[in-house]
Structure 1
Amino acid sequence: MKPQTIIMDFSHVYEQEDFYRNTRFVWVDCSDIAGTSCYCTPQAADEIRRRIRPYSPYGIHFIDSGDYHYVSAFWMEKIEEPFHLLLFDYHSDMQPPKFPGLLSCGCWVQRAMDENRNLRQVWMVGPDESAFAGIAQPYRRRLQCISLQALQEQQTWVQLHRLQSSRLPVYVSIDKDVLNTYFARTDWSQGGLSLPVLEKLLGLFESRCRVLGVDVCGEWKADARFLLNQEEAAINNQSNLELLRFLLRRA
């Protein structure tokens, strides 16, 4: 049975894309929820949880732009067994929260490590080396990090091919800002991976771990610049289509 594909619409950006049209999908409209952009209020968090309550975390979830990457934490809350997080992102998303009590796209990984009792380790792939410098020491014991610079070294790939199988499953979270601008257009600074390299990495990890679910963010936030939006949306749509096909083939 193929995993369920969920489209979570916060900004209407997916109305400009059609990668999901030829597969069975569920549309979860979140565009009317106040207090969700970058920072998520407790009231918004409760409402998002309510709207995804009927759906399993063991699927493929497209969760809009990177402003909403914290939604990954809500999907991971629904996992009822110990697991690791495999995160592809150009940023660590482990900044100290600027506003106590508010979950954000910049601190959600740290919050999940603090609060999700089933999350054991975070495997972070693709950030610039400088992103690791700001991670507080207590969290580093549970982090495995592969920087963008390390991925340019042959020895890193030798070590990746020697990875042992994990006895624990993984939840995969992909922010397309880990990709270069040929393969994705986001409203955040971006990394340098190509889509084929991302898929190669996914394949390496999937061959050694049971994958529970996957989410994908990193859309270009819709705004008034219609022609520019069309260009950005077309690039992201193509990468979303390729990622969805890749994930469904391996399901």
Structure 2
Amino acid sequence: MKTPIILNFDNSVGHIAGALNIDLSAYQEQIRFGCAKRAYQQLADYLTPNLPTNNLGTVLMGSGDYHHLSLFLIERLAKDYSAKNPIQVVVFDNHPDNMRFPFGIHCGSWVSHVAKLPFVHHVHVMGISSGDIGAAHAWENRLLPLYRNKLSYWILNRPVNWPKYVGLMKAFHCFDSADELISAFIAQQDKMALPTYLSIDKDVLSEEIIKTNWDQGQLQTYHLIDTIAALGSHIIGSDITGELSSYHYKTAWKRLLSSLDGQVEIPANKLAKWQAEQHQLNLDLLQLLNE
């Protein structure tokens, strides 16, 4: 068994036997939601000597507000892979995470940075049903990785027409059902076997399955399980995010950005129950990923 890692910013990840728990609470205000590149690098410099160099298991990062730390975890693979020996990155997320963010890097922009890495052949963002890929938000999406065939959106129940007017339909895979989306992706994977980094933001799942801080998608748990099984031994690294946690920012600009993204308060009387459901799902996924 590989050793799971908890990047503990917000105490939202429950106890996991045998996991390495790294206390990062001092970085919560600085890193949560988004941060300057300098702050990101400071955290990376701190984490690098504190992570195992071998047998690294799935990394749990807490709230989806920390999803941009996936970039750091993927960057670490540069020592083992190259443009001639590349990997692919598969991201389950209700949002493209390829949006413009001029202040550094944040949880909705990190995919564009991953797509720039020379050893990353392609990034697949799976299960998007949010309005972030609609025409009203088209200008916010970074188009260059889509044009360069470094990034694909796998979209569910969200009609998207604007890409055909700018020559990008090849990067947009649209489906009417989650079963069709997952089946098409697995069929594509059968034709190409690349080492795969898998990142799971649980906001891709239906609210009937789990509750997260963000607006949620339509996938079921078995869609994640089927994909993990199909990728199998090709998975060379993974992370899980999307836990429930509340935080009140000290800085006004983060309070503003968070409010603009529509994050809502978590009902206090529901938090313990929802976190218990989150915890059980984490254990189920870890059993599959860290075998």
TM range (shorter): 0.7 to 0.9
Query: Do the aligned partners of residues 155 and 112 (structure 1) sit closer, same or farther apart at CA in structure 2, a change above 3 Å counting?
Result: closer
Residue aligned with 2:115, SS? helix
Query: Do the aligned partners of residues 151 and 170 (structure 1) sit closer, same or farther apart at CA in structure 2, a change above 3 Å counting?
Result: farther
Letter in 2 for 1:31: S
1:88 aligned residue (81, 92, 111): 92
Q: How many residues matched?
A: 238
Alignment of 1:1-251 (within 5 A): 2-14=1-13, 17-18=14-15, 20-21=16-17, 24-33=18-27, 34-54=29-49, 55=51, 56=53, 58-80=56-78, 81=81, 82-97=86-101, 99-100=102-103, 102-114=104-116, 116-128=117-129, 130-133=131-134, 134=138, 135-140=141-146, 141-149=149-157, 150=175, 152=177, 156=181, 159-163=184-188, 164-204=190-230, 206-207=231-232, 210-222=234-246, 226-248=268-290, 251=291
Please, what is the CA RMSD of the aligned residues? Answer: 2.4
Asked if the contact 2:156/2:181 (under 8 Å) is kept, the reply is: no
Greater share of helix:
2
Contiguous gaps of at least 5 residues in structure 1: none
**Bigger radius of gyration among the two:** 2
Contiguous gaps of at least 5 residues in structure 2: 158-174, 248-265
- Aligned-residue offset at 1:226: 4.3
- Aligned-residue offset at 1:213: 0.5
TM-score by length of 1: 0.85
Runs of 4+ in 1 over 4 A off after TM superposition: 153-158, 223-226
- Aligned-residue offset at 1:201: 2.1
Asked if the contact 1:179/1:191 (under 8 Å) is kept, the reply is: yes
CA distance in structure 1 between the aligned counterparts of 2:151 and 2:38, rounded to whole angstroms? 30
The percentage of aligned residue pairs carrying the same residue is 24
Residue aligned with 2:123, SS? strand
Asked if the contact 2:186/2:227 (under 8 Å) is kept, the reply is: no
CA distance in structure 2 between the aligned counterparts of 1:123 and 1:62, rounded to whole angstroms? 20
Asked if the contact 2:66/2:107 (under 8 Å) is kept, the reply is: yes
- Aligned-residue offset at 1:123: 1.1
- Aligned-residue offset at 1:62: 0.2
- Cα displacement string for residues 127-154 of structure 1 (whole angstroms, at most 9, x for unaligned residues): 0275445334322122233222326176
